[in-house]
A and B are shown apart, each in its own frame.
Chain A
Amino acid sequence: MSEPGFSHDRDVETGVAPLAPREFLRWTWRQLTSMRTALILLFLLALGAVPGSVIPQDAVDALKSAQWREAHPSLTPIWEKLGLFHVYSSVWFTAIYILLMVSLVGCILPRTRVYFKAMRARPPRTPRNLTRLPEYRTFTTDQEPDVVLARARAALSGYRIDDHDGSLAAERGYLREAGNLVFHISVLIVLVGFATGSLFGYKGGVIVVTGGQFANVASQYDEFAPGSLFNIKNLAPFSFKITDFDVTFITQGREAGMAQDFSAGVDYRTGVDGALRHTRIAVNHPLSIDGAKVYLIGHGYAPNVTVRDADGTIAYSGPVVFTPEDATFRSTGVIKVPDARPSQLGFRGEFYPTYAFTMATGPFSAFPDDKNPALSMLVYAGNLGMDSGIPQSVYALDMKGLKPVRKDNKAMRVDLTLGQTVTLPNGLGSVTFDGVSRFVKLQVSHNPSGWVALLGMIMALIGLLGSLFIKPRRVWVAVRREGGRTLVDVAGLDRSSGGTLPEQIDALAAHLEENEA
């Protein structure tokens, strides 16, 4: 009972389930709230969490789990049935922690009741036979019995003390059990905070090219994950513009190529007509706005491209986001030009911020900064399939209606350096590489109950410290006259393990024995 944890005194009651319904219910409850069951559930919880770290999770990295599914076509349906792509919201994982919570409540309730009584209880009367206790000392002294008891009383500061005839009973450490209960209740609070956060909050990701604007409505997000009880009408009506993006790459020495620090300038407005304010956001320095937070979580390049028809009409002009593939910011992307005539055009290829080439490696990016930007893309003509009504990824071409544009009997590749224009064959028009913009990847999240989880966790820690380090202990001192001297018995009982009772009792006995004069 004294260790952190559940009451385990009823573990002795095992046996076969009784058949009468009421008895059966009681039996089930006892089994469920027994310490052994709690231990097994804890192990199941630990074991159940493992697959979520091995198999890519939809909620953690959707792209990765999609790739995994593609690579393992035969396992995927089985894994899906078992909920292994969303372990932490799967039926079986939920079942484990709900059972654990039930077991926890079943432990907290009776113990709280017991504790409320025990909290006000007086120390137990001095046992008749103190020699039977785990620690026992005895000595004789010339001091008067009352003096010894008074000194014992003074020495036992912090104890709750009861005087009896010729002895005193002392107890301390009542708060250990309180700490224990606080810890277990706090675990429930953390869970409530965690659950409500995911029910009433939202999280969204958006890529914004510098100079671009964002308004906080669901349709502006690239990915948007509202909690199941979050009403998207309640999105706070803030808006912002990314004014610029600053990054310094180390150019010298071994760390060359590492981004030293990067930050984005933001002009933002809280509400529809709030004042326009400016700030900078960086990793570890998000922007707090209308109860939401805007995090800078990534960056990359968006080359500016202009595509013209054969007669010079602009079919497309603007920045196109290319996603970085490695630390040198070699990036891949596609350009879709549905307005091109005579046929729609699609480009797919790579962007190199600092273009370099060797025969061995082919084209690559030698440095992450845009020192010598270049584009290298294959060209496709035909039908982009954007009118079919099926939503398309902006990072992939639907190849069904497209054919590679050929030149000199080879699939044509346009290689562009900054400012360069390449004319496409067969009167398809031309493509120009005008410049380079940067984009930032932002995450907007709103978690109304994060503080509940944090508060719960801090309470849990405080409770835990109490339950581990407060040492409940009982001490008795008995005195009687014998042959003109005073015989003193000192005895102690530790109600938790790992204590230093023998030393304490030694010290108390020595202190009492030592004559004050």
Chain B
Amino acid sequence: MSHSHFELVSNQAIAVCGTFYFLALLAHLAEWALGRTVPLDAVSATTFSEAVAGGGTDTLVAVEESTERMERWGRIGVILTVVAAGMQFVAVASRGLAADPIRVPWGNMYEFTMTGTLVVTLVYLGLYRKYKLSWLSPVVTGFVLITLMADVLLLYTPVVPLRDALQSPWLIIHVVAAITATGAFTIGGMASILYLVKERWLERQAAGKETSAKAGYLARLPGLVELDRLAYRTHAFAFPVWTFAALIAGPIWAQSAWGRYWGWDPKEVWAFITWVVYAAYLHARATAGWKGRAAAIIALIGLATLWFNFIGINFFFGSGSMHSYA
């Protein structure tokens, strides 16, 4: 295949991949819609008979059926997500093969966003079993789908060779670290959002403002402690990676490409801001009065600065930033 064929393959793969993410999202929405008819403690088949011991045989059969259907749709969703991630990998890899000479597929915003969302999906799939992440499925598939749509509609760039400043081994090191951290921070941010939503829901329920829906999505979210733990673990993983990407690899590369390791370029400034906010998050989590709610809000501020830096800087300061390609 020639280089231009690969570009075509990439464009088609990303379209197919978007379709699969959409189907996966639908499957997960079906999963949660069906879940409303399944009692909370009936999902695992082992405890299931005890849960409905009070009801008659009819209810038992009905519940068993809807539990099975719910779990089936969940599985279908995950399989569709795996297929989508596979297609997305093809799309990313063929972007690199489409360039002449071939290069790593991280030359512009379109490619960064494509790879970043792939990392989000991979982190989610990787942790799915260990943390029983079925509750995160609609959020992840929805987020990746929307981000990819925006990527294709707004950021699409034809394949071109790497600019001279990007021709360095540090491209791989710096960008892989930055994208990995971005993906992990994003998953952590989702857990923090759900933490806030669930906390509010529990509060309203306690105050009697909310009729306690027995088996809705919020009821099925893990408890606050588990949500907080997942958020902390992903952030604790992402923070050192970000430190390395933004404050070690970045400066070393900037030193050799631009002659200074830190120059307060807008992208550098915002990478620093993101770092400071996430440092505040880690501190807040250990401080009385800041734990939980306040820490979750700080994590979301961090996520906002991260994504603003990733995309916003280029729209607002495009020409003024030496990172205008990133």
Contacts and interface: CB of A to CB of B under 8 A. Distances in A.
Q: Is chain B found bound to chain A in the same assembly? A: yes
Interface of A: 1-6, 8, 11-12, 35-36, 38-39, 42-43, 45-46, 49-50, 52-54, 56-57, 59-61, 64, 87-88, 194, 203, 250, 254-255, 258-262, 282-286, 293, 295, 297, 443, 445, 447, 450, 453-454, 457-458, 460-461, 464-465, 468-469, 497-498
B236 A258 contact: no
A8 B286 contact: yes
Contacts of B158: 254
B127 interface: no
A60 B240 contact: no
Given A443-B259, A457-B243, 18 more contacts: A3-B282, A3-B285, A8-B287, A39-B283, A39-B284, A52-B264, A53-B313, A59-B264, A282-B164, A284-B165, A286-B256, A450-B261, A457-B248, A461-B240, A465-B240, A468-B236, A498-B229, A498-B232
B263 interface: yes
A284 B164 contact: yes
B269 A49 contact: yes
Contacts of A443: 258-259
A450 B282 contact: no
Given A46-B273, A255-B161, A458-B248, A284 B257 contact: yes
Given A49-B273, A445-B259, A57 B161 contact: no
The list of the 3 closest CB pairs from A to B, nearest first, reads: A3-B286, A295-B259, A53-B266
How many B residues are at the interface, by size bracket? 35 or more
B51 interface: no
Nearest to A468: B236
Contacts of A46: 273, 276-277, 280, 305
B124 interface: no
A500 B265 CA distance: 41
15 contacts: A2-B286, A3-B286, A5-B287, A11-B287, A36-B287, A46-B273, A87-B264, A194-B262, A254-B160, A258-B160, A295-B258, A450-B261, A461-B248, A465-B240, A498-B233
Contact of B248 (A8, A259, A286, A454): A454
Contacts of B282: 3-5, 468
Most chain B beta-carbon contacts within 10 A, residue among A3, A11, A284, A464 = A284
A453 B283 CA distance: 23
Contacts of A282: 164
Contacts, number: 147
Contacts of A45: 276
Given A259-B164, A454-B248, A53 B283 contact: no
A450 B232 contact: no
A42 B317 CA distance: 25
A284 B165 CA distance: 7
B181 to A, nearest CB: 13
B201 to A, nearest CB: 23
Contact of B259 (A53, A87, A297, A461): A297
Contacts of A35: 283, 286-287
Interface in B223-247: 229, 232-233, 236, 239-240, 243-244, 247
Contact of B240 (A5, A11, A468): A468
B260 A445 contact: yes
Contacts of A1: 286
Contacts of B320: 56, 61, 64
B226 to A, nearest CB: 11
A450 to B, nearest CB: 6
B272 interface: yes
Contacts of B269: 49-50, 52-53
Contacts of B277: 42-43, 46
A89 B199 CA distance: 42
Given A11-B289, A42-B280, A53-B266, A283 B257 contact: yes
Contacts of A6: 283
A297 B258 contact: yes
Nearest to A5: B283
B255 interface: yes
A255 B229 CA distance: 48
Contacts of B264: 52-53, 57, 59-60, 87-88
A260 B273 CA distance: 34
Nearest to B244: A461
B71 to A, nearest CB: 25
A283 B317 contact: no
A285 B255 CA distance: 10
A366 to B, nearest CB: 19
A260 B161 contact: yes
A450 B260 CA distance: 9
A295 B257 CA distance: 8
A362 B163 CA distance: 30
B53 interface: no
Given A12-B288, A39-B287, A42-B280, A284 B256 contact: yes
